[in-house]
Amino acid sequence: MELKKGIYILPSLFTTGNVFCGFYAFIAVLNEDFYFAAWAIFVAIVFDALDGRVARLTKTTSAFGVQYDSLADVISFGMAPAFLAYSWVLKPFDRLGWMAAFLFLLCGALRLARFNVTKPDISGNHFIGLPVPAAAAVIASIVIAFEDIFSIRLDPIIMVCVVYLLAFLMVSNIHYPAFKKFEFKRRVTFTRFLFVILFLYVFATIPRVSLFVLSLMYTLCGPVLSLVVMYKGKEQSETQKTSSP
């Protein structure tokens, strides 16, 4: 079946950059350059964020672009971080190690498939389950932090727990903020502007630590917000019971 409207070049180029970075991460892992493999995953995240935004700004969204983006995400944020985690510290666990890496890949693919069939009005301003790029960012940031800052390998047992936790969060029903309404053209208060400047300053000064902290905070914000919502719901139900005659 031929494509009726062809292929939009600009967003597809960004998606291709995503695929290239994922492939390069494999090559770097095979050469035991785990540090560069982790950074390649982060560059892929940048390309992944840009292709969708560019497609929306230029009004070049298409079904082909959506499917191409999902396939690229499986490579860069599913297979690449799973292979990186296994080769970095999980290999000594043998079957337990590669099964943990496979579970991460499987849950990532399931998460992407669920996202593709979820209607936009259902997802709203949040994601259902931890986004696959965010899960990949956690693994990549851990590798960067321990390879460059601490110059040691993370305890394999801890890494196994991290991989299993990320896999669970990706296929969970926990809501994560999507930041879809973030616009640079919108007016903000002076305090928020200073906060953005401070954030950019800290990120530029200590990017390796910032990446680790940000990815960890985003991963934990979903369960924390869910617990807060549950707590408020229980409080409201208890208040209604006590106030009712």
Residue 130 pLDDT > 90, yes or no? yes
Q: Determine the straight-line distance between the first and last CA of the chain, rounded to whole angstroms.
A: 66
Tens of pLDDT, residues 10-33: 888 999 999 999 999 999 999 999
How far is residue 81's CA from residue 132's CA, in Å, rounded to a whole number? 10
pLDDT (0 to 100) of residue 122:
46
Domain residue spans of the chain: 9-243
Q: What is the pTM of this model?
A: 0.84
Tens of pLDDT, residues 206-237: 777 788 888 998 999 889 888 888 777 666 66
9-243 classified as CATH 3.40.80.10: no
How far is residue 162's CA from residue 143's CA, in Å, rounded to a whole number? 12
**Residues sharing a CB contact under 8 Å with residue 89, sequence separation 6 or more, in sequence order:** 153, 154, 155, 156, 159
